[in-house]
Structure 1
Amino acid sequence: MALAGVRVIELAGLAPAPFCGMILADFGAKVIRVDRTKTGMSLDTQARGKRSVAINLKTSEGVSLLKKLCLQSDVVLEPYRKGVMEKLGLGPQELLKGNPRLIYARLTGYGQSGSYASAAGHDINYLAMSGLLSRLGRSGEKPYAPLNLIADFAGGGLSCALGIVLALLERERSGRGQIIDASMVEGAAYVGSFAWKSQSIGMWDRPRGENMLDSGAPFYDTYQTSDGKYVAVGAIEPQFYTQLLKGLDLDPGSLPPQMSFTDWPELRRIFTERFASKSQEDWSQVFDGTDACVTPVLSFQQVSSHPHNQERNSFLTDSNGEQSPRPAPVLSRTPAEPSLSSDPFIGEHTVEVLNEFGFKSEEIEQMMTHGVVEGDAIKAKL
């Protein structure tokens, strides 16, 4: 796999950092998640392919152990607020002295500098600070945050993974590691570059929810079908719009022009009534094989059985029978090979990993006895 041989220390966190770690693991990196001791269960639902080591960082021995693991690794992925790792003596400057090739990725909401650097926040806050939230929502309604996808995962976990891969590539030339300052505010804003840079061409010059791509246009929206399901319509270009009207059995001559903003409410009314006259399956039969840009809005339960997704094996099933998306993109020679095993229990691989890092059995046993580490491989097999 593309990242085979890369060793990653991921300090346990929520949402963005675990997603970043899962991406790296899916593509072949050896990702070791460092969990806290005395924790009942992990909240990491993106632990696919990772191993867990439980270390008590409230002890000096635990901090010393983590430092040794970091110094023998390629990447450290750290999701804490600014200053937490420095208080432990494990900040990037300290670790880079011991391992100049180390890539130290810091994934936070507001970044490592600025007046908000130490402030708490969540996806909706970072999205608000990026400017994007002000553009999301229906006309006449308050701004709407679409789950926690844009800042946490696209602007956070995914962009941080990109930064790590870029740093690994650069290290091949320079032989040196570096620090990655991944801010979810800036990552979200960067993901929204199209919205920013297309303002001058009239794409976003109307109020929120009244533009072509933000639910303002009737030909770029969702519609309910007779069975209570939905279809998505994205017929922007004239040739696609023509196909849409043909499938809906509407006479173009009896309708207002496609780009007449003032007539959009009337067009939406007509489309709403027409789509409500048939089921989602009926409309799929009408539009499949055309360029009308009409697709069913599939539920999580439907996606894996759709013929297109089946043909591409777009979704995988793990050993527990749970489905999730296949890693993307698909590489022709070194594709991802995601683990289908159960997610690791906290401390499941403590002994195994420490052995790999050169610790002797008696040293590990002593650390276990003194509460520096925890291991529960037996529980993991039950």
Structure 2
Amino acid sequence: MTAVLSGLRILEFAAIGPVPWCGMVLADLGASVVRVERPGSAAERDTLGAVRRGRTLVELDLKSAEGREAALQLVERADILLEGLRPGVMERLGLGPQECMARNPRLVYGRMTGWGQTGPLAQQAGHDINYIALSGALHAIGTADKPVPPLNLVGDFGGGGAFLAIGVLAAAWQARACGRGQVVDAAMVDGSAVLMAMIFSRMLMGQWTDRRASNALDGGVPWYDTYRTRDGRFVAVGALEPQFYDELVQRLGLAGQLPDRQEAAHWPEIRRRFEEAFGSRTREEWAAHFAASDACVTPVLSLAEAMAHPHMQARGVFMPWDAGRVPAAAPVFDGARPPPTPPSRRCSMAEVLQNWPSVPLPARGPTAS
């Protein structure tokens, strides 16, 4: 099967967090990704591991005239550019949208930042936790006592890299039709807010309280939470619908013993009984007990355990990498997962230009709107 993004050329400028993750996703799906790195940046590269897979790597000193000109030669051949520097840095290097799109009018120029290219905070430093704090996402995640950062999944990757990928692919689709590229301003604060669209909507409809651990999906209800087992591990319970809840209660041996779950005043007692029940067996005993049921109970697996789970193995969710395994490409297309992405390989500038031959510029079409 031909890779779904085969033939798409992406020029990625080295950055941290969401940009290399976005480059990995696009490379996994078959795009040809050339990653420009600073000479001697080995320590920076080592932190990325498998996230840096699938690229052709070239080292360029972008502060030199020669390095900038080499980068612009790649710009001329690319469909999409990805960069994740603070606003204004690429312009100071002579590689901003104006310079790049003068060389390649059909270029989609993807920009990834935390706060966005505009706004009062655009030049301020920050990290995932700061961006999701401002969008409201962090406030909604955690215990009743305090917010808990959900790793860097919500800002960096969900609200950042994923929206960068969506944006540049959408703009590339439009560029195919009109022959003109555009700048995509992807901000983690924007994307993490969009991820919360359902929650904001439910709050407007009076179906969500603006208080952690008091709603159906934030651990507020006893039937959507995690519980410690006898061996100190955990199971996850997601029995939201009545039929799933009924099966949960029946399999816990609590049928007819619990108060009405429709009354919030009864939730502490239901939770206490669940805690007591789950604490009576080990995690693996509960996993076996609920294996063939629709009670929506699963073991909470560690990272190492997840790779060995039969379902994950059957679907090929993880692929071999070095001495272990890492997540493979997703999603699945026509019943087939994209083939394992190979490690990146370093190339000379001459080899990169040979692999990316010049593309005639299209006839001037209407400006993208």
Among 81, 85, 88, the residue aligned to 1:83: 88
1:2–1:335 Cα contact (<8 Å) kept: no
Percent of pairs with identical residues: 44
Question: Which has the larger displacement, 170-179 or 102-111?
Answer: 170-179
Shift of 1:255: 1.1
Provide the aligned C-alpha RMSD in A.
1.7
Give the TM-score, by structure 1 length.
0.88
Shift of 1:5: 0.9
Shift of 1:304: 2.5
2:140–2:210 Cα contact (<8 Å) kept: no
Within the alignment, does 1:350 sit opposite 2:352 as a pair? no
**Structure 1 equivalent of residue 13 of structure 2:** 11
Distance 1:302 1:334, change over 3 A: closer
Q: Report the residue type matching 1:353 in the other structure.
A: V
Q: Show the 5 A alignment for 1:307-326.
A: 307-318=310-321, 320-326=322-328
Q: Show the 5 A alignment for 1:252-291.
A: 252=256, 254-291=257-294
Rounded to whole Å, the distance in 2 between the matches of 1:148 and 1:44 is: 14
Q: Show the 5 A alignment for 1:166-245.
A: 166-205=170-209, 207-245=211-249
Rounded to whole Å, the distance in 1 between the matches of 2:24 and 2:324 is: 16
2:319–2:340 Cα contact (<8 Å) kept: no
Distance 1:333 1:297, change over 3 A: closer
Rounded to whole Å, the distance in 1 between the matches of 2:115 and 2:210 is: 29
1:224-253 deviation per Cα after TM superposition (whole angstroms, max 9, x unaligned): 11122111000011110000001101123x
Q: Report the residue type matching 1:94 in the other structure.
A: E
Shift of 1:202: 3.6
Matched residue of 1:302: which SS? helix
Question: Which has the larger displacement, 184-193 or 204-213?
Answer: 204-213
Among 105, 110, 134, the residue aligned to 2:110: 105
Rounded to whole Å, the distance in 1 between the matches of 2:204 and 2:42 is: 53
Q: Report the residue type matching 1:349 in the other structure.
A: C
Rounded to whole Å, the distance in 1 between the matches of 2:255 and 2:247 is: 11
Rounded to whole Å, the distance in 2 between the matches of 1:151 and 1:194 is: 17
Distance 1:357 1:26, change over 3 A: closer
1:27–1:338 Cα contact (<8 Å) kept: no
Shift of 1:69: 1.0
Rounded to whole Å, the distance in 2 between the matches of 1:203 and 1:340 is: 47
Rounded to whole Å, the distance in 2 between the matches of 1:187 and 1:301 is: 30
Shift of 1:49: 0.6
Rounded to whole Å, the distance in 2 between the matches of 1:147 and 1:9 is: 28
**Structure 1 equivalent of residue 167 of structure 2:** 163
Rounded to whole Å, the distance in 2 between the matches of 1:273 and 1:201 is: 35
Matched residue of 1:203: which SS? coil
Q: Report the residue type matching 2:102 in the other structure.
A: K
Shift of 1:358: 6.7
Among 247, 255, 266, the residue aligned to 2:251: 247
1:2–1:334 Cα contact (<8 Å) kept: no
Give the TM-score, by structure 2 length.
0.91
1:77–1:107 Cα contact (<8 Å) kept: yes
**Structure 2 equivalent of residue 152 of structure 1:** 156
Matched residue of 1:8: which SS? strand
* Residue segments in structure 1 that go unaligned for 5+ positions in a row: 360-382
Q: Report the residue type matching 2:235 in the other structure.
A: V
Matched residue of 1:301: which SS? helix
Matched residue of 2:67: which SS? helix
> How many residues in Structure 1 have an aligned counterpart in Structure 2?
352
Stretches of 4+ moved more than 4 A in 1? none
Rounded to whole Å, the distance in 2 between the matches of 1:30 and 1:112 is: 27
Shift of 1:20: 0.4
